[in-house]
Structure 1
Amino acid sequence: MNSASDADASAFDPIDFLERAVPVASNDGVEEMRDLLVETLEDAGFDPEVDGAGNTLASKGAADPDTHLVLNTHIDTVSPHVPFRRDGDVIRGRGSCDAKGPLSALLAAFVAVEPASDARVTLAVTPDEEVLSTGAHALDVDSDMYVVGEPTNLDVCTAAKGRFQGTLTLSGVASHAAEPQSGVNAVFALERALSAIRSYDEGREEHPALGSATLTPTTVEGGDSTNQVPAECRLVLDRRSVPPETAAAFRDGIESAVREAVPDDVGVSFDLTDRPTPFLEAFATDEDHELVETVAEASRRAGGSGDVRPFTAATEASYFSPAPVVVFGPGVLADEEGAVAHAEREYVRVEDVRTAAAALTDAAAELVGR
């Protein structure tokens, strides 16, 4: 994983890479996009590797560093693929802002920075952030700090809520609807369960950066026949958590709260949705940390806002915490007209990509450079 020459670094153009990357569909598979990334790194003088989980990795600097900075983002996108086109200063198409625009800026910084003799920088690009994050979960990189590329409008995001999902099951006893007293109606129990859900966070202290957690019922089903007392009712819950709540703590807490609320003859269970990787839990980095202040100041110097705020979506930054981590990049999740990322109108501004590249290059040089 050798470093690039100064000539290679100065020759790398993030917009040229972005215009090659956005046309490559990476919603149903990332192989072609990963090949482009590997080829780009090789052309810049590096020897990247793809690990068993599909992560693309390249490093330079000390083998046993005192300071190690990881630049991370992902190459997969959501469906369907939206074709590339350029309208003046705007690049449109699926992945333009989420997250090939941020990837382009991170690449520029990685190619340009020359680590100090006791420092190291690693580019770690994951393959399935939009789905299960198996790549990020398997990522074996020990680092002091992380920058995660996502569309933040050049703001520096230091925290994000987590997202848990699970199914609450209320169990009763089926009987003929003509004799409802002979059964236990699970749907009737839903009334008290919903009351417990509404009041679940009452009295909880807000997180200073992220505010209150949210708990939202999203789908409900129950009963098997229109003339039968329903023996079961299932309710899916969406939890947007704040530190320090974990998925396991939420599971136990909500099950206990509902158990206390419903009649004793109703069974209660709450099961987190089965998945092969951990849920993306909430994270928060101290706003006074050197990483935060350095990236924010670099963003301002390059022409970005440098504002420090929470990120509104879940990201793989969750897997890197409690190490200091910030989320940063060009593009927006939504604008005044509506959704941008994951939408048919996805776009990123060329000027913002160049600004992000300049800011990240500046920040990386200050954090780990000579």
Structure 2
Amino acid sequence: MTAAGFDPVDFLTSAVRIDSTDEDVAEMRSFLVETLESRDVKVTVDDAGNTLASKGSPSEDCTRHVVLNTHIDTVPPHVPFERDGDVVRGRGSCDAKGPLAALLSAFLAVDPGDARLTLAVTPDEEVLSTGAAALDLDGDLYVVGEPTDLDVCTAAKGRFQGTLSLAGSAAHAAEPDSGVNAVAALESVLKVVREFDAHREAHPELGSATLTPTVVDGGAATNQVPAECALVVDRRSVPPETAEGFRSAFEAAVREAVPAEVGVAFALTDRPTPFLEAFATDPDHELVRTLSAAARDAGGRGGVRPFTAATEASYFAPAPTVVFGPGVLADDEGAVAHADREYVSLRDVRRAAEALTDALSSLVAEGED
């Protein structure tokens, strides 16, 4: 079953031509809105720039509410559209206009009956997720469009970032013991970083969390004991760790490890939206089983696995949530998404649309039982 008069490939080839890097998504959003309205779908754009459309019963009366989500912004720079047989190249082809084309096709094709089907397309996913943070959808099931090679991804690590500030006291380098060397305290800090997860259990799907030192800054003069040092760390979390839980645990571990005369403060990077935390959906959930089987029937592998990048899917958990779509983050030659060689297979776009349509048809019908 396909949406009458809608071809996901035609939509995709037009969408990839539209530059939607950074916050400049107005043209792409207009194209999406026009596509929906031309098929008599009522569309709203909220104050956060989200494009929203729903079908079926009102939310208060529906038997099940299924939400389809992806984003229209892309990372810079814009990479021009090219088509080579079955392959479309260009910025956004796999991240995430290919998944958007498949989700849109399924949304238009499926009659939700007494259930409710919502399409929620966000801006700003690649930066601060201001669109997704503003959503209030109360869905029962969520499908988030990202390049997964038609696998059903049930979990993803979160990403936190913060700056550790160490405070000592300046002194002449000829008399180092007369001061407190903040840079020297990094020796103990880096040991904490290396061993922070040594005794923590790995997640059954996502494996171990990671903690990586990324940027360091300290010292004011080459002949002076440095009074200050700052270290930025990148945290890739696994459930059930939260951003605040990590912050307090890491600060406490550092405080215990460094000399008492060194001041310690650790702050998460200030941002207007919550960090993308880790999420995990039961691999045996009906949503996972139904979409995986539909992906296999459509010609994909339909594997069930974690997603390897942080995603706005974390904002929808703990409701059952999966990540799914055509395209890959990387292949045997290297990076695909966010790279100059970004591409997607048109055959897989059609397969994803077919799988989503079949799975959604089944899921909304099951909601009526």
TM-score band, normalised by shorter chain: over 0.9
Structure 1 residue 11: deviation in Å? 1.1
Partner of residue 59 from structure 1, selected from 54, 58, 65: 54
Structure 1 residue 329: deviation in Å? 0.1
Mapping of 1:221-260 within 5 angstroms? 221-260=217-256
Partner of residue 266 from structure 2, selected from 270, 277, 282: 270
Mapping of 1:280-319 within 5 angstroms? 280-319=276-315
Structure 1 residue 30: deviation in Å? 0.3
Taking the aligned partners of 1:345 and 1:209, their CA distance within structure 2 comes to 30
Find the counterpart in structure 1 of residue 45 from structure 2.
50
Any gaps of 5 or more consecutive residues in structure 2? none
Taking the aligned partners of 2:189 and 2:339, their CA distance within structure 1 comes to 35
Structure 1 residue 176: deviation in Å? 1.1
Q: What letter matches 2:41 in structure 1? A: F
Taking the aligned partners of 2:155 and 2:138, their CA distance within structure 1 comes to 21
The alignment covers a number of residue pairs equal to 363
Give the CA RMSD over aligned residues: 1.0
Partner of residue 189 from structure 2, selected from 175, 179, 193: 193
Structure 1 residue 368: deviation in Å? 0.8
Partner of residue 95 from structure 1, selected from 85, 92, 97: 92
Partner of residue 31 from structure 2, selected from 27, 36, 41: 36
Residue 4 of structure 2 aligns to a residue whose secondary structure is: helix
Moved over 2 A (4+): none
Find the counterpart in structure 2 of residue 3 from structure 1.
none
Taking the aligned partners of 2:99 and 2:291, their CA distance within structure 1 comes to 14
Whether the 8 Å contact between 1:50 and 1:57 is mirrored in structure 2 is yes
Q: CA deviation digits over 1:21-54, x for unaligned, max 9?
A: 0000000310000000000001111011000100
Taking the aligned partners of 1:61 and 1:313, their CA distance within structure 2 comes to 33
Whether the 8 Å contact between 1:9 and 1:44 is mirrored in structure 2 is no
Taking the aligned partners of 1:138 and 1:203, their CA distance within structure 2 comes to 37
Q: CA deviation digits over 1:180-223, x for unaligned, max 9?
A: 11110011111011111111111111100000000000111100
Identity of paired residues, percent?
A: 72
Find the counterpart in structure 2 of residue 74 from structure 1.
71
Residue 185 of structure 2 aligns to a residue whose secondary structure is: helix
Taking the aligned partners of 2:197 and 2:13, their CA distance within structure 1 comes to 46
Partner of residue 21 from structure 1, selected from 2, 10, 15: 15
Q: CA deviation digits over 1:45-83, x for unaligned, max 9?
A: 101100010000000001021200000000000000000
Partner of residue 333 from structure 2, selected from 319, 325, 337: 337
Q: CA deviation digits over 1:142-195, x for unaligned, max 9?
A: 100100000000000000000000011111001111211111001111101111
Pair 1:104 & 2:83 matched? no
Structure 1 residue 124: deviation in Å? 0.3
Q: CA deviation digits over 1:89-113, x for unaligned, max 9?
A: 0000000000000000000000000
Any gaps of 5 or more consecutive residues in structure 1? 1-5
Taking the aligned partners of 2:176 and 2:112, their CA distance within structure 1 comes to 74
